Amino acid sequence: MILVVNCLVEKAFVADFNRVLSRDLEELGQPCRCFRVSEIGQIGNQDDYSHLIISGSEASTTEDQPWDQALGQLVHSFLSAGKPILGICYGHQFLAKALAGPGHVRRAAHSEFGWLTPRLEKTPLFEGLEEPEFMVCHFDEVFCLPGDFRVMASSDRCAVHAFQYQDRPVWGVQFHPEYGPVEAKPIFEAICGSSPRHNPAPPQRPEALEQRKRIFRNFLQAGG
């Protein structure tokens, strides 16, 4: 069973994330249970779960959040048990904050909105990916990680688009492998509005979008 912690705030975004991620995982034969980050105390026996996924959020990792302590304890519990962890967008930043310290997340000088093909390094999480196109939507970023992190992806505007912690199956990705154009549209409309500064361009290579799902296949295989 996969444990999913949903850090989104807007109810519609919470429901959409749970729906699309559950669909992708079920297609891979892996059931999941989704909890809002405020419900961490209701998770129960962590031995029931083999993997942990932490979602994106409208909240900022540069600010203290009421769930920081509980989510940090959950991350360290899975880490101590040697279980795979994947942080997406906010989850990526939170992993850096929890494992390296709050001095490694900041407001980005250049936020990113739209569709992006990041430069990928070789890591089991990216096995089989060839120039994939991912949704990006973030104001904050991870930066200047210590030596026990390896930067696994970057873009022209974001130096740390993905990392692996030590040699463990623990990854953060700034981009969103769970969202396609249909799911991304209401998020862009809500966050970017009509601002010309943050007007996301449509996907340039629709055929590359399906590669995003391989991220989850690779993540699940990391735990055997």
Q: Is the pLDDT of residue 197 over 90?
A: no
Catalytic residue among 7, 34, 51, 89: 89
Contacts of 155 (CB under 8 A, 6+ apart): 112, 116, 118, 119, 136, 161
Give the confidence band of 198 by pLDDT, cuts at 50, 70, 90. low
Q: Are 55 and 13 in contact (CB under 8 A)?
A: no
Convert the pLDDT of each residue in 69-104 to its tens digit: 999 999 999 999 999 999 999 999 999 999 999 999
Convert the pLDDT of each residue in 50-64 to its tens digit: 999 999 999 999 999
| Whole-number Cα distances in Å, 16 to 2, 10, 41, 48, 50 | 18, 10, 23, 24, 23
pLDDT at 183: 87
Give the confidence band of 199 by pLDDT, cuts at 50, 70, 90. low
Active site residue 178: yes
Contacts of 127 (CB under 8 A, 6+ apart): 214, 218
Q: Is the pLDDT of residue 108 over 60?
A: yes
Mean pLDDT across the chain, nearest whole number?
92
Q: Is the pLDDT of residue 33 over 80?
A: yes
Secondary structure string (H, E, C) spanning 150-173: EEEEECCCCCCCEEEECCCCEEEE
pLDDT at 191: 75
Give the confidence band of 181 by pLDDT, cuts at 50, 70, 90. confident
Residue 223 backbone class (left: φ over 0; alpha: ψ -120 to 50; beta: rest): alpha
Q: Are 158 and 141 in contact (CB under 8 A)?
A: yes
Q: Is 157 exposed, middle or buried (0-12, 13-18, 19+ CB in 10 A)?
A: middle
Convert the pLDDT of each residue in 112-138 to its tens digit: 989 999 999 999 999 999 889 999 999
- Number of domains comprising the chain: 1
| Chain CA centroid to CA 36, Å | 15
Phi, psi of 223 (to 5 degrees): -95, 10
Q: For residue 52, what are its two tokens?
A: 């942990």
Domain that residue 204 falls in: 2-222
Q: How, if at all, do strands 105-116 and 134-142 pair?
A: antiparallel
Q: What is the CATH number of the domain that holds 152?
A: 3.40.50.880
Residue 10 backbone class (left: φ over 0; alpha: ψ -120 to 50; beta: rest): beta
Active site residue 104: no
Nearest to 161 by CA among 201, 182, 196, 132: 132
Q: How, if at all, do strands 119-120 and 149-154 pair?
A: antiparallel
